[in-house]
Amino acid sequence: MKALEKSHAREGLWMVRAPVPEIGPSDVLIRVNVTGICGTDTHIWNWDDWAASTVPVPMITGHEFAGEIVEVGRDVTDLEIGQRCSGEGHVVGTESRQSRSGRFHLDPGTRGIGVNVQGAFAEYIALPAFNVVPLPEDIPDDLGAILDPLGNAVHTALSFDLLGEDVLITGAGPIGIMAAAVARYAGARHVVITDIRSDRLKLIERVCPDVRSVDATREDLNDVMREIGMKQGFDVGLEMSGNQNALDQIVESLVMGGKIALLGIPPGTSPVDWSRIVFKAITIKGVYGREMFETWYKMIAMLQNGLDVSGVITHRLKAEAFRDGFAAMKSGRSGKILLDWR
């Protein structure tokens, strides 16, 4: 099969011919139709310090996908050949306290597809049946391929009750934009999203026209709050940018007793004025991945009942054009980028 592989410990990925993976008794073999390029894949392409210390070489990368089951292991009873599916990219164990109590996404032994386990940038992927998420017929492959990042957005946005609340989102990348759509769907009163890149702010206007986008280099957030009739601060902040200034902005803009869901990861060590956190009685929740599998159930239900995030997809390319896809991703001017393996 053709596969996109980290073949060498340096910048780039390489299209190779690789054996079709063999499956175990509890696995399924999936023919991959569409994959999405993720920020993690970009880190692996760039071969930064995190990637060099985490990813073994060679490694078939990629973990956002939609496809069709073509083979099932002998112990698999609830899935069948021909079934369309996506899949959870975190492969977990069953021995930890977290897993045994049903909190699979917190298993400390988690391995990542396309990071520690051979991934989805290929014509076929072997996946534990436990990780397979069947796709309803009314969810096309293009959306199935971005359920993983949508799951990040849903997990973050639904960390706190949003009904009637005012929500500030920092970072208008694809996940931040999808989080804005989820927040509106979940009943937030005002949703404001900030960024410094005009292309991303234009994209949020296309995907979520009823969300107030703010160019942080040109507009004062306090002026925006007055403009939309807010008399106090925001109730909930969703930090999606990994930027220290953005986190500081959320802390400054929250009401007393406000809440922050933190998905973005600032590089290195970031200074925190903990007195501001304590004296404003702020709650901070770190968000990792998706809740297995509650997040998947919720986002599929929302997609089937009116949530529309399809506009976040800006590029659809053949798999052989992967270099163009990564160039667009690294430019910072794209939304979600899909590679077609059919």
Kindly report, residue by residue over 222-245, the tens digit of the pLDDT. Answer: 999 999 999 999 999 999 999 888
pLDDT of residue 54 exceeding 80:
yes
Tell me whether residue 43 is one of the annotated catalytic residues.
Answer: yes
What is the phi-psi region of residue 322: left when phi exceeds 0, alpha when psi lies from -120 to 50, beta otherwise?
alpha
Would you call the peptide bond into 58 cis, given omega within 30 degrees of 0 as the criterion? Answer: yes
Compute the distance between CA of residue 125 and CA of residue 122 in angstroms, rounded to an integer: 7
Angstrom distances, CA of residue 324 to CA of 17, 94, 120, 327, 328: 20, 40, 18, 5, 6
pLDDT at 1 over 90: yes
Rounded-to-integer distance, Cα 252 and Cα 66, Å: 40
Domains of the chain and CATH, by start: 2-146+309-340 (3.90.180.10), 153-286 (3.40.50.720)
Residue 269: the pLDDT is 80
The pLDDT confidence band at residue 324, using thresholds 50, 70 and 90, is: very high
Running DSSP on this structure, what letter comes out for residue 194? E
Q: Token pair 């979600």 is at which residue?
A: 336
- Specify the pLDDT at position 262: 96
Tell me if residue 155 is catalytic. no
Which pLDDT score, from 0 to 100, does residue 217 have? 92
SS3 state at 126: strand
Flag the least confident range among 13-22, 77-86, 203-212.
203-212
- What percent of the chain is predicted at pLDDT more than 70? 100
Residue 120 near residue 35 (C-beta atoms within 8 A): yes
Task: Give one DSSP letter per residue of 4-46, joined into a string.
Answer: EEE-SSSS--EEEE-PPPP--TTEEEEEEEEEE--HHHHHHHH
Which of the four pLDDT bands, split at 50, 70 and 90, describes residue 126? very high
Q: Name the active-site residue from 35, 40, 156, 295.
A: 40
Instruction: Specify the amino acid at residue 67.
Output: G
Helix (H, G, I), strand (E, B) or coil at 132: strand
- Residue-level pLDDT at 34: 98
Active-site choice (42, 43, 283, 314) = 43
Q: Supply the mean pLDDT for the chain.
A: 96
Residue 59 binned pLDDT confidence (cut-offs 50, 70, 90):
very high
